[in-house]
Amino acid sequence: MLVMAPANAIVDELNTTITQRLLDTGHLDPDRRIDIGDCVFYPGQAVVTRANDRRLTYGTDSEEWVRNGDRWQVEAGTSDELHLRNTGTGHCIALPADYVAAGNVSVDYASTINRAQGATVDEAHLLLGDRTNSKQLYVGATRGRVANHIHTAPSAFDPDQHGPATGTGTWTPQGAVAAALARQPDDVSALERRRQLRDFQSTPQQGNEEPRHKPIDDRDETPRQRATDDASRLRHFTIRRSQGLTR
């Protein structure tokens, strides 16, 4: 099972809550608590590694190494080592305390939607936020082989009012999902934004026949020259727009 949420703070709270529920119901043994690197784990717990480290090898002939996003189950541990079993390959590894202390091992009952891309589980649960977009909705609703569940609720905070939501509108779960479907992610890269700005600056303005500035050719300029040229273009553009507004 995998639970997905839109923000890291929610994910951390979910992981803490789920771990406590598993302890309360006997699915995790509190007497086998593992204290390592200022972190606490229990045998049987699902965890994920969060940093690449080619020095930490495992598997037959040690051909595999620890990667960001690898999923594991805690087998045992001491204050010096955390023993894990890879949920995909079944291979085991003993992670040193310094890797754990650096914050590179996280409980993995809940995950951010973006980090869950590529994961496949039997049952998936998606917590829908008021800013979840269509791409995130697709990712979160397609991770489960057997079942996919979407959970949503009225927002407790109104970003427009910078305070608690007043509930003036009519809220429905179907409306929340429809709103997420209507939100399109901003897929324009930084390079594309720069190209758009360059094209705009190269377009004749207010009836001018020729562009005031020639297009940027990054191959002919050093980074310092490009920065100087960008500042000059921005200053000229700002002054010209201001003059136009005062006429």
Please, are residues 150 and 141 in contact by the beta-carbon 8 Å criterion?
yes
Q: Which residues contact 46 (CB under 8 A, 6 or more apart)?
A: 71, 72, 73, 74, 87, 107, 108, 109
Backbone angles phi, psi at 140, to 5 degrees: -70, -30
Tell me 32's DSSP state.
G
The helix/strand/coil state of 241 is helix
- In terms of C-beta distances under 8 Å and separation of at least 24 residues, what long-range contacts does 237-241 make, across chains too? 237/201, 240/205
Give the pLDDT of the chain (247 residues) as one tens digit per residue.
Answer: 889 998 888 999 999 999 999 999 999 999 999 999 999 999 999 999 999 999 999 988 878 999 998 999 999 999 999 999 998 899 999 999 999 999 999 999 999 998 888 888 899 999 998 888 999 999 999 999 999 999 998 876 555 555 555 555 688 888 889 988 888 886 555 666 666 667 666 655 454 444 444 444 544 555 556 656 665 655 554 444 444 443 3
Q: What's the confidence (pLDDT) of residue 153?
A: 86
Q: What's the confidence (pLDDT) of residue 27?
A: 95
Give me the numbers of helices (H) and strands (E) for the chain, helices first please. 6, 15
Q: What's the confidence (pLDDT) of residue 156?
A: 67
DSSP assignment of 99-151, as one string? HHHTT-EEE-SEEETTTTTT--EEEEEEE--TT--HHHHHHHTT-EEEEEEEE
Backbone angles phi, psi at 173, to 5 degrees: -60, -40
**Residue 233 burial (10 A CB sphere; 0-12, 13-18, 19+):** middle
Please, are residues 185 and 134 in contact by the beta-carbon 8 Å criterion?
yes
| CATH (one of 2.30.30.40, 2.60.40.10, 3.60.20.10, 1.10.274.10) for 2-110 | 2.30.30.40
DSSP assignment of 183-208, as one string? PPP----HHHHHHHHHHHHHS--TT-
Q: What's the confidence (pLDDT) of residue 29?
A: 96
Q: What's the rounded Cα separation, in Å, for the pair 10 and 126?
A: 12
Q: What's the rounded Cα separation, in Å, for the pair 94 and 218?
A: 48
Structural domain spans, the chain: 2-110, 113-182, 190-246
